[in-house]
Amino acid sequence: MPLSPPEVLRTWFDRVWNAGDESAIDALCSPAAVFHGLPGGPIKGPAEFKPFFRSFRSAFPDIRIRITHCVCEGSLCAVQCEVAGTHTGDGLGFPSTGKNVGFTGMTLARVEDGRIQEGWNAYDFLSLHSQLGTLAQL
């Protein structure tokens, strides 16, 4: 039996982001999935999502995303998240700063048959860049 929408999102953040398990992208994301609201988006399917994942994860190899709230209705599931990490890599296109960051965001995802079909993201990337001191580079 496929995972429920909240189980898919919890597994997505635990395996993909917190554990850095790139294989979970293929397992939890439909080949036709579309991700909105991310830099460079919309991002279509696992093949386009993986470069974004690699870039962001290389910039913050210790990234931790904690779901603080989860609300679901049918195939739609919304999660509010707290994100923390240390900018020790160059994956964002500029040198690492070594700074610790913390910001929040939300994801609304349509999950069917145990896989993400579409996702809408609203993360506070302005706060992220403010903490890094990289606003001028946007």
Please state the domain extents for the chain: 5-137
CATH class for the region spanning 5-137 = alpha beta
Per-residue pLDDT averaged across 7-18, rounded?
98
**pLDDT of 33-90, one tens digit each?**
999 999 888 999 999 999 999 999 999 999 999 999 999 999 999 999 999 999 999 9
Q: Share the mean pLDDT of the chain.
A: 96
Task: List the beta bridge partners of residue 118.
Answer: 34, 110
